[in-house]
């Protein structure tokens, strides 16, 4: 348990060090995620203990957003004075993103499925 | 008695214990209400907790700095939690390998659409400067979004609020929009929601369909990674 918590922190620390050392435009924890992902691919499986530690962290992922979310209190004036651009970006921007992404993925998947299905139908008698 | 209470408040308000405990209590109360209402996205535990705590801070005249000295212990865990996102990502490795190209194209399209639409619409409606940079990573899961905001010159705390609101809005109206657009492929629905509405959208999709839920989680992680690489580079290009 403690070992796997340490592993997560070591990955984060390594990510932080690499990001700063090479001036990379990626947050340290994200690089840490990549490092751990590569590690899992190399190892070929996720240790049970690591599953448990990650599971308990991610189960309450939304709790971890709260301290930062409360930071909105510092920007109440800014938000009130920029209501229109914020509301527009959050509503229209989010709907456009959902629509475009879902639509593109569905079309690509259909093409992929059609291409995969074609030799299959020929092979079956 | 009144003097005693005042003394007690003076003592409590200077220790990290009070606001750390209130953060945990507010979240659990919000989570309880969320489950009681059948996971109604408008009863999002984060939204409810943030509103409650902001209200308490305003009423008690406590500044954010004092609040954060307690809440920082929760905030710190965002880093290791981001690293831990590698585990659900790895769980989907077979599905990723199978549709890798389609996922990459849809993801990049979605990632760029999210940032471009947020910045474009906000700019068209009169937004400028740090506000635009704070809105750009609004669809990315918040630990990553805050890192990106910090990197490109936005306000991480403002970004965090934008991320939470984006997630709640996307989770509420996304499935309805996807029905309207006749996007019935569960993989596509999941990826769309994960890209645009991160963890809160993912939670909603898990509730609606397990396949969509799994791919929403995958898209959330990959979009965080893609945006973290693309956005600072793009902003650098425009500077």
The DSSP line for A4-28 is: HHHHHHHHHHHHHHHHHHTT-SS-H
Q: For chain B, say whether A73 makes contact (Cβ under 8 Å).
A: yes
Domain locations in chain B as residue ranges? 2-76, 83-238
Q: Tell me the C-alpha distance between A109 and A47, whole Å.
A: 32
Q: For chain B, say whether A112 makes contact (Cβ under 8 Å).
A: yes
What's the pTM value of the predicted model, to 2 decimals? 0.78
Give φ, ψ of A64 to 5 degrees: -70, -15
Percentage with pLDDT > 70 across chain B: 99
pLDDT of residue B1: 57
Nearest Cα residue to B164 out of B113, B198, B121: B198
Mean pLDDT of A20-38: 85
DSSP state of A75: G
Across all residues in chain A, what is the average pLDDT? 86
pLDDT of residue A77: 87
**What is this model's ipTM?**
0.82
Which of B28, B83, B152, B192 to substitute to test the interface with A, most A CBs within 10 Å?
B83
Q: How far is B154 from chain A (nearest CA, A)?
A: 12
Q: Tell me the C-alpha distance between B234 and B94, whole Å.
A: 31
pLDDT in tens, B114-150: 999 999 999 999 998 899 999 999 999 887 898 899 8
Which of A52, A54, A62 to substitute to test the interface with B, most B CBs within 10 Å?
A62
Of the candidates B77, B91, B103, which has its C-beta nearest A57's C-beta? B77
Which of B86, B116, B133 to substitute to test the interface with A, most A CBs within 10 Å?
B86
Give contacts of B161 with chain A, Cβ < 8 Å: 68-69, 71-72, 75, 79
Q: Do A71 and B150 touch (CB under 8 A)?
A: no
Q: Tell me the C-alpha distance between A119 and B207, whole Å.
A: 36
Q: For chain B, say whether A113 makes contact (Cβ under 8 Å).
A: no
Please say whether the beta carbons of B193 and B212 come within 8 A.
yes
Q: Do B121 and A88 touch (CB under 8 A)?
A: yes
Nearest Cα residue to B175 out of B205, B146, B155, B198: B205
């Amino acid at each position: 348990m403690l070992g796997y918590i340490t592993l997560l922190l070591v990955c984060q620390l390594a990510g932080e060090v690499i990001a700063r050392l090479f001036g990379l435009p990626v947050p340290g924890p994200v690089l840490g995620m990549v490092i751990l992902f590569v590690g899992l691919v190399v190892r070929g499986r996720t240790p049970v203990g690591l599953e448990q530690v990650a599971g308990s962290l991610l189960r309450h992922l939304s709790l971890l957003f709260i301290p930062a979310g409360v930071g909105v209190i510092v920007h109440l004036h800014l938000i009130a004075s920029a209501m229109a651009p914020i509301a527009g970006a959050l509503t229209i921007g989010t709907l456009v993103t959902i629509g475009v992404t879902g639509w593109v993925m569905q079309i690509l998947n259909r093409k992929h499925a059609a291409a995969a299905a074609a030799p299959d139908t020929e092979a079956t008698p | 008695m009144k003097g005693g209470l005042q003394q007690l408040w003076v003592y409590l308000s200077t220790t990290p214990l009070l606001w750390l405990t209130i953060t945990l209590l507010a979240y659990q109360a919000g989570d309880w209400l969320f489950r009681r209402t059948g996971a109604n996205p408008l009863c999002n535990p984060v939204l409810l907790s943030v509103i409650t705590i902001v209200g308490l801070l305003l009423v008690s005249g406590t500044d954010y700095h004092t609040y954060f000295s307690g809440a920082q212990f929760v905030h710190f865990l965002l880093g290791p939690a981001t690293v831990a996102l590698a585990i659900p990502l790895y769980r989907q490795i077979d599905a990723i390998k199978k549709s890798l190209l389609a996922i990459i194209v849809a993801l990049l399209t979605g990632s760029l659409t999210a940032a471009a639409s947020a910045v474009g619409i906000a700019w068209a409606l009169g937004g400028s400067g740090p506000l635009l940079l704070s809105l750009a990573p609004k669809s990315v899961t918040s630990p990553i979004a805050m890192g990106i905001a910090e990197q490109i010159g936005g306000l991480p705390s403002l970004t965090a609020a934008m991320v939470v609101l984006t997630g709640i809005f996307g989770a509420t109206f996304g499935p309805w929009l996807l029905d309207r657009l006749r996007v019935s492929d569960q993989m596509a629905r999941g990826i769309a929601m994960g890209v645009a509405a991160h963890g809160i959208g993912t939670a909603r999709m898990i509730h609606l369909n397990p396949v969509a839920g799994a791919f929403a989680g995958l898209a959330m992680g990959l979009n965080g990674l893609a945006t973290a690489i693309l956005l600072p580079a793009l902003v650098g290009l425009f500077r």
